[in-house]
Amino acid sequence: MITTETAAGNIAALDRSNARTAASGALTAECFEHAVPPFVEEALEGLYGNLFSTLAHQRVYGKSRSLSTFVLRDGTQLRTVWLYERRGRTVRVLNEGIEVHAHEVARFAELVFAPGSAAGAITFHAIQPRVQGLALPWRRYNCLEDMVLELPPTSTEYLAQLGKSTRSYIHRYMNKLRRDFPSVRFELVEAHEIDEGKIRRIIELNRARMSHKGKVSINDDTLAEQITHLAMDCGMIGALTIEGQVVAGTINYRVADNYFLEVIAHDPRYNAYRLGTLCCYLTVCECIARGGREYHFLWGQDEYKKRLLGKRRDLDDLTVYRSRLHMVSHADLALRQAADGWKRRAQLRIRTLRQGDGPAARTFDALLRRIREMKSGG
C-alpha cells in the first residue's frame, strides 16, 4: 500500500494541464483526463482489493484506449480512485465489484457535469451502490450476484463452520480418493511459479466437462489466452494430480488479501470422486493459510458454492443523470437498461422455479424437457 505522502507527491508531480479539481470541505476531487497517474495501480489494489477494479484486469480485458482517472482525497489521504472513459455524452466508470457512496458520486459529478461539459449521464456496472440521499436523478437495477465467502482465521474453523452433511461429504470422498489413488496430491502455485501448461490443462478439463454435459464451455481460445495472461500476472493455480497428471484444478486470482475463482474443472472420468468440490475446498483452505480475507466464487448460485458457504452479494448497475431533462435525452440508455433489468428478473425467476420442488418447479422442468425434445427433433 502506498503512503499518503507518496500519493500526494505523485499527484503534485503530474502536469496540471490534464487535471481538473474541485474542493468541498476537507475533500478534494480531481479528474485526470486521458491519464492514469503512476500511483493508481497500487492504490486501486489497496483501496478495494477487488480484481475488477485493477489495472491488471483492464490491461487484459479492457477495451478502452483512453483511460481517465478520478481521485478523491481527504487532506493527503486517498479515499477514492476510479478509472473512467467517455463515450459520447456518457461517462462510464470502469471500477466494478466495489461499494460506491453518494458523496463520491456527488464529487465526481461536480467535475463531469461542469459547465461546458457535454456529459449528461454517468454509468456504473456491477457495483454495490450506497447512494440514498444523492441529489441528482439516478436509476439502478440488479445485474449480477457475487457468491462470497468471508474466510475464517484457520481451515479448522472453516471445516467446523461447514454443514454436517458437507463435512461428511468431504471426508467420504477424500478418503475414497486417497484409498483408490494413493499417488493423489494437491498443490497450489502462485503467479511467479505458474506453469502455463497447467493453466491450459485446467481449461481443457473445463471444456471436456461441459462437453460431457452436452454444453459448450465459454472458455474459447481468446478467453483462454486472456485467462493465461492474467493468471501469470496475479494468478494462483490449485491442482489435484494423480500419477503426476492434473485431474482437477482451479484457476484463481489474488488481489491484496482477496481471492477470485475464474475456472474450476475436473476430468469427467473421475465424476464418482467429486473432484471439483474437493479441489475448490482445498483451494479455499490454502487461501486461509495465506491469511486471506475473502474468497469470491463469483457469478451463479451453484450448489457447490453454497455448500462451501458462499453468500450472495448483489451487484447493481447504476446510472446518474445531470438532470431530469437529461434522463429524457438519454431515453435510449434508459430503455436498454430497463430491458436488461427485465431480463435479469426473468432469469432470477427461472432460477427460483428450477431450484424449487413444488408443482410449479416440476411443471417448469417438464416444459424445458419438452422444448429440448422439440429442438432435437424428438
Q: What is the pLDDT of residues 220-260, one digit of tens each?
A: 778 888 999 999 899 999 999 999 899 999 999 999 999 99
Average pLDDT of the chain is 84
Whether 13 has a pLDDT exceeding 50, the answer reads no
Q: 152-292, what's its fold?
A: Aminopeptidase (3.40.630)
Residue 19 one-letter amino acid: A
Can you give the pTM of this predicted structure? Answer: 0.81
**Rounded to the nearest 5°, which phi and psi values hold at 61?**
-110, -15
Q: Could you read off the pLDDT of 167-184 as tens digits, one per residue? A: 999 999 999 999 999 999
Residue 45 one-letter amino acid: E
Grid coordinates 449480477 are at which residue? 144
Spell out the domain ranges in the chain: 4-144+314-329, 152-292
Backbone dihedral region of 16: left (phi > 0), alpha (psi from -120 to 50 degrees) or beta? alpha
**Rounded to the nearest 5°, which phi and psi values hold at 49?**
55, 35
Partners of 255 in the β-ladder = 258
Kindly state the helix (H) or strand (E) to which residue 125 belongs, with its residue range.
strand 121-130
pLDDT at position 194, please?
Answer: 85
Whether 9 has a pLDDT exceeding 60, the answer reads no
Q: Could you read off the pLDDT of 98-148 as tens digits, one per residue? A: 999 999 999 999 999 999 899 999 999 999 999 998 999 999 989 899 999
As a whole number of angstroms, the distance between CA 10 and CA 46 comes to: 16
Distances (CA, A) of 312 to 14, 190, 262, 306: 41, 27, 17, 9
Q: Output 284 or 224, whichever has higher pLDDT.
A: 284
Q: Which of 180, 195, 297, 176 is nearest to 239 (CA)?
A: 195
Compute the chain's Rg from CA coordinates. 23
Let me know: does 326 contact 121? Beta carbons within 8 Å: yes
As a whole number of angstroms, the distance between CA 203 and CA 365 comes to: 30
Cell of 337: 437498461
As a whole number of angstroms, the distance between CA 263 and CA 249 comes to: 8
Grid coordinates 481443457 are at which residue? 204
Class at the top of the CATH hierarchy for domain 4-144+314-329: alpha beta
